[in-house]
Amino acid sequence: MSDGSPPAPIPGARLLFSLDPGVSYLNHGSFGTVPIGVQRAQQRLRDEVEANPHRFHTQGMVDRIIHTRRHVATFLGADPDGSALVPNTTTAVSLVLQSVRLEPGDEVLLTDHGYGAVALAAQRRCRRQSATARTVALPLGATDDEMLSRVRAALRPGKTKLLIIDQISSATATAFPVRKIAAAAREHDIPVLVDAAHVPGMLPVDVGAIAADFWVGNLHKWAFAPRGTALLSVAPAWRRRIEPLIVSWEQEQGFPLSVEFQGTLDYTSWLAAPAGLFTLRTLGWEAVRSHNAALVAYGQRVLGAALGAAPADLPQPTHPDLAMRIVPLPPGLATTMPEAVALRHHISDKLATETAVNPWNGRGLLRLSAQVYNRAEEYDRLAERLPPLLASYRRS
């Protein structure tokens, strides 16, 4: 684990991206960034489409999707025949929720670290079925054993029909012991959906070894794929129950093709995803992970100190390779989502710096990301300029 010192930059890495040099982009975790080489790979595919749209969509399209899926699934340790390419984690969550049978009185269990859109999807599904979306609270900085114990205690055999757990949470940058949690739920025949939106490209993962009923991760965050690329892996017992949100020509093929093929869409983001994995391997994935973890640790340390936070008040990572960390904001700032959005925009406009700001249990959290294009001086600059900005912002 990093000691908080900044790492040496990876030579040439910054030149692989087309980011605005006038902006400190410290928010890779929200939307990712697509390397120039991957942008060009996707553009070549788009050129191919426009040269002959009919041929592109009707001759070999399905085979190309299958080939890409196999490439991506193998990288993640997932079963290619039991996985489907989908646009994003949010889409996969809705697919799973509609496939799990809920009756009045049943419940879907989530944690208070979960992504807001996932909670909204669960609430809507439960509302339609007269079921309940229930949330279990997990303390910030809890150990793996504490998280496992609290989730296990919250399970209600016979009533809990689905547990949704993050592998890395978005707002709190916390890694969860999903393999142990899935095993605990399996003791009571409770299916588990692992929201691994931030995992591909950030952490090594063996999806098969996690043994969750459902696992979904975005490739367009940390694996350098074009946006709109994710993989949903489904355990054998559930595959015949997965129905696409939109019915198209591969419906009779069943999962995964029935989910993947949806007629006239832009599939080029999926087909260019292997170019993103190639970029990651070319840089050296271990070097990337080590660099990013060390750099974000440095950023958390200098920004936390600038905001007057004691080292003990800075949540430490629950996995050594995490490339995101959080810094608690002064009390009273960004305690609601509208306030967090307004502050994030203010930081962007006034400091030319992109960060993530989220409310969590009545406290505003600033989440830092680190990627190979970032430099220590960007965090130093934010640490120097953010405190006076926040002081004036509170007075306004």
pLDDT in tens, 50-98: 999 999 999 998 999 999 999 999 999 999 999 999 999 999 999 999 9
> Which H or E element spans position 303?
helix 285-306
- pLDDT tens digit sequence for 332-354: 999 999 999 999 999 999 999 99
- pLDDT recorded at residue 396: 65
Angstrom distance (rounded) from CA 199 to CA 218: 7
Average pLDDT of the residues in 297-321: 93
363-369: strand order across its sheet: 324-328, 363-369, 356-360
Q: Are strands 230-234 and 214-218 parallel, antiparallel or unpaired?
A: antiparallel
Q: In this model, does residue 267 exceed pLDDT 50?
A: yes
- pLDDT recorded at residue 4: 55
Tokens 């300029």, residue located: 385
Average pLDDT of the residues in 137-147: 95
- pLDDT tens digit sequence for 158-211: 999 999 999 999 999 999 999 999 999 999 999 999 999 999 999 999 999 999
215 within 8 A of 205, measured Cβ to Cβ: no
Angstrom distance (rounded) from CA 218 to CA 30: 11
> 57 vs 14, 53, 175, 226, 230, CA distance in Å?
35, 6, 40, 19, 21
Burial class (CB within 10 angstroms; exposed 0-12, middle 13-18, buried 19+) of 342: middle
Task: Please state, as a whole number, how many other Cβ atoms lie within 10 Å of the Cβ of residue 376.
Answer: 18
Angstrom distance (rounded) from CA 142 to CA 315: 10
Q: In this model, does residue 45 exceed pLDDT 50?
A: yes
Average pLDDT of the residues in 131-137: 97
Angstrom distance (rounded) from CA 72 to CA 273: 8
Task: Identify any residues that bridge with 357 across adjacent strands, giving them in sequence order.
Answer: 366
Q: What is the dihedral of CA 345, 203, 222, 40, to 10 degrees?
A: 170
Q: In this model, does residue 275 exceed pLDDT 90?
A: yes
- pLDDT recorded at residue 17: 98
CA 356-212-194 angle, 5° bins: 15
Find the helix packing angle between 178-186 and 144-154, rounded to 10°: 30
Domain residue ranges in the chain: 13-31+284-395, 38-277
> 143 vs 115, 175, 176, 360, 383, CA distance in Å?
20, 10, 9, 18, 29
- pLDDT tens digit sequence for 113-126: 999 999 999 999 99
- pLDDT recorded at residue 310: 87
- pLDDT recorded at residue 313: 86
Q: In this model, does residue 1 exceed pLDDT 50?
A: no
> Which pLDDT band, with edges at 50, 70 and 90, does 322 fall under?
very high
- pLDDT recorded at residue 349: 97
Q: Specify the fold of 13-31+284-395.
A: Aspartate Aminotransferase, domain 1 (3.90.1150)
- pLDDT recorded at residue 2: 47
- pLDDT tens digit sequence for 218-233: 999 999 999 999 999 9
Q: Are strands 132-136 and 107-111 parallel, antiparallel or unpaired?
A: parallel
Angstrom distance (rounded) from CA 85 to CA 150: 33
Q: In this model, does residue 251 exceed pLDDT 80?
A: yes
- Percentage of the chain surpassing pLDDT 70? 98
- pLDDT averaged over every residue in the chain: 95
CATH 3.40.640.10 fits 38-277, yes or no: yes
- pLDDT recorded at residue 395: 65
> Which pLDDT band, with edges at 50, 70 and 90, does 357 fall under?
very high
Domain 38-277 in the same topology as domain 13-31+284-395: no
